[in-house]
Structure 1
Amino acid sequence: MTPTHPKASLLTRLARLVRMGSHIAHGFFILAVRYPHLANAERAVITRAWARKMLSIFGVEVRISGDNPGFYPPNTLLVANHVSWLDIIALSSGTVSRFVAKKEISDWPIVGTMAKNGGTLFIDRSNRRDASRINGQLADALSQGGCMSVFPEGTTSDGFGLLPFKASLFESALLAKSRVQPVAIRYLDAHGQQTGTLSYVGDHSFGLILKRLLSMKKLVVELHYGQSLQAGEGELASRFAISNAARREILAGLNLSDDTPDTARQTLACPQAVTQ
């Protein structure tokens, strides 16, 4: 999809790039030095402030609607559709959580260190049995009052559809008797129209998405919180039932229906949080 959005000036783009680099360095310092000595609630305050400043550097406006659970709801599994690596920053600007990511990211320079220090859980996508291990870790974190996030599509889409959900990691919510909070993410351009400019699919690279983000004059990200679901109650007695209910909530938040064709395009090398 060819972007048609108004572009920021070259000076604005350069200023954003410099400020972004400085803010990432500041975040790296916080994660390496301060995080180990802070309680979860204190970490959440710092993380949300960092995410909000990063979005402001990019000129991104966040609009939040729906059943907002607060900035750090305890024993809550956040589940969202996945469009771009920017999703993680956008979600953290509203509700702070820890994520599940593919294990390869743990070895990446800077990003891997920041992810590990930030409490990310890493899953081995090549080993289907690894989901059981991650479920145990997720359940432990949730039971201890944590807020965790997964992207149950398992990869990114272009944002105009919703891929089938993988139900495996919903088992953690049953084990911990957690609330499951669906979140629908949409990106709007300067004209208020949904855009796939930042979608991390096909041959889109991290650098290309960053270049587009820096050059956009205006971008709005919508976070719509659907109705929260209590795992284990009523009809939500299995991970498949919870997965289906969460998917319906996100479809509604995206103004889609169950008969909307699924988005089939996937990224080849995306540093996104994943599930199996």
Structure 2
Amino acid sequence: MLECAFARPRQTPVSTKTTPYLVRAWRLTRMLLHVLHGALILAVRYPRLTNPERAVITRAWARKMLDIFGVRLAIRGDNPGFYPANTLLVANHVSWLDIIALSGGTVSRFVAKKEIRTWPAIGWMAANGGTLFIDRSNRRDASRVNGQLAEALEQGGCMSVFPEGTTSDGFGLLPFKSSLFESAVIAGSQVQPVAIRYLDETGALTDKVAFIGEATIAQTLGRLLATRRLTVELVYGQRLQAGAPGLATRFELSAAAREEILAALGLKEERVEAPCDQAADPALAPN
């Protein structure tokens, strides 16, 4: 018997109406132009700016992109600021859209799987935006990334990780991998849990933009462009100070952060008989 994702009952959307094709084409055109604008900023302006100055530009760019997609950003809880120093953000992971949503609330640099570095355009933008890349097939690579994370945090940076190690449908929460929490222990950082929820126009939880299974970026983008209205909700939990009583190790920080996100998602832990797909992959097992 395996401890798996902790899920709420699925909610069936009331409305199935989609946007007209002209609206989708207009959104796509605006998106491509905004991506080109972002690439120009990364190539020309970013190298000359401080991290706080970059954060101001990044948040504005992210919020405009959400507006282009017709996505409303809703923030609940105590947002620590647009670029809190020495802070490790940890969030559940549903979609590539999570990165844009999080940047619209609290700007940070991200840790991503190394494969993204080879993606056309996206890989270049991620690398030039300060993303750290990790080889998830090699457990020893976590040590290297932890060193880079800790150094960035100690220098006043704000970094983000998705400790599930993969995406889910947003209806549950997968087990956390605790390895990258070690960076917060080393740097004496604050850990900020953030729960990400996607809601349709009726206010029901939806997996329409979930990047799971055999879905491709193009498919999820197509579903997003066809969605009339979508809300992404960021729920900030209680901040956790690494090194405080009960939060001295990466395991304690991971467990406490997961409890905060579970509570924000309105989930309760339970054991299920059916194993998760991720449980079959040793590289994704919690540690």
TM-score, length-scaled by structure 1: 0.93
Other structure's SS at 2:68 match? helix
Aligned match of 1:264: 276
Aligned match of 1:204: 215
How far is 1:263 from its partner?
9.1
How far is 1:223 from its partner?
0.3
For 2:44 and 2:275, locate their aligned partners in 1 and report how far apart those are by CA, in whole Å.
41
Matches within 5 A, 1:1-276: 5-259=16-270, 264=276
CA contact (8 A) 1:31 1:117 kept: yes
How far is 1:145 from its partner?
0.3
Post-superposition Cα deviations, 1:85-128, rounded to whole Å, max 9, x if no partner, equal: 00000000000000001112212221111011100001112221
CA contact (8 A) 1:177 1:231 kept: yes
For 1:6 and 1:80, locate their aligned partners in 2 and report how far apart those are by CA, in whole Å.
30
The residue type equivalent to 1:123 in the other structure is I
For 1:105 and 1:203, locate their aligned partners in 2 and report how far apart those are by CA, in whole Å.
16
Post-superposition Cα deviations, 1:159-178, rounded to whole Å, max 9, x if no partner, equal: 11100000000000000000
Moved over 3 A (4+): 1-5, 260-266
For 2:123 and 2:214, locate their aligned partners in 1 and report how far apart those are by CA, in whole Å.
23
Other structure's SS at 1:180 match? strand
How far is 1:258 from its partner?
2.1
How far is 1:6 from its partner?
2.3
For 1:259 and 1:127, locate their aligned partners in 2 and report how far apart those are by CA, in whole Å.
30
For 2:26 and 2:116, locate their aligned partners in 1 and report how far apart those are by CA, in whole Å.
28
The residue type equivalent to 1:31 in the other structure is L
Other structure's SS at 1:197 match? coil
Task: Report percent identity of matched pairs.
Answer: 67
For 2:186 and 2:98, locate their aligned partners in 1 and report how far apart those are by CA, in whole Å.
27
For 1:265 and 1:66, locate their aligned partners in 2 and report how far apart those are by CA, in whole Å.
32
For 1:32 and 1:18, locate their aligned partners in 2 and report how far apart those are by CA, in whole Å.
21
Other structure's SS at 1:101 match? strand
Quickly say closer, same or farther: Cα 1:182–1:258, change in 2 above 3 A. Answer: same
For 1:5 and 1:246, locate their aligned partners in 2 and report how far apart those are by CA, in whole Å.
35
CA contact (8 A) 1:6 1:190 kept: no
Post-superposition Cα deviations, 1:184-220, rounded to whole Å, max 9, x if no partner, equal: 0000001110001111111211111000000100000
How far is 1:5 from its partner?
3.4
CA contact (8 A) 1:16 1:58 kept: yes
Quickly say closer, same or farther: Cα 1:196–1:76, change in 2 above 3 A. Answer: same
The residue type equivalent to 1:117 in the other structure is N
For 1:81 and 1:88, locate their aligned partners in 2 and report how far apart those are by CA, in whole Å.
11
CA contact (8 A) 1:77 1:142 kept: yes
Q: Which runs of 5+ in 2 are unaligned?
A: 1-9, 279-285
Other structure's SS at 1:201 match? coil
The CA RMSD over aligned residues, in Å, is 1.8
CA contact (8 A) 1:135 1:171 kept: yes
For 2:66 and 2:271, locate their aligned partners in 1 and report how far apart those are by CA, in whole Å.
31
The residue type equivalent to 1:71 in the other structure is F
For 2:127 and 2:70, locate their aligned partners in 1 and report how far apart those are by CA, in whole Å.
27
TM-score, length-scaled by structure 2: 0.90
CA contact (8 A) 1:157 1:263 kept: no
For 1:22 and 1:229, locate their aligned partners in 2 and report how far apart those are by CA, in whole Å.
39
The residue type equivalent to 2:69 in the other structure is F
Post-superposition Cα deviations, 1:124-162, rounded to whole Å, max 9, x if no partner, equal: 122211100000000000000000000000000011110
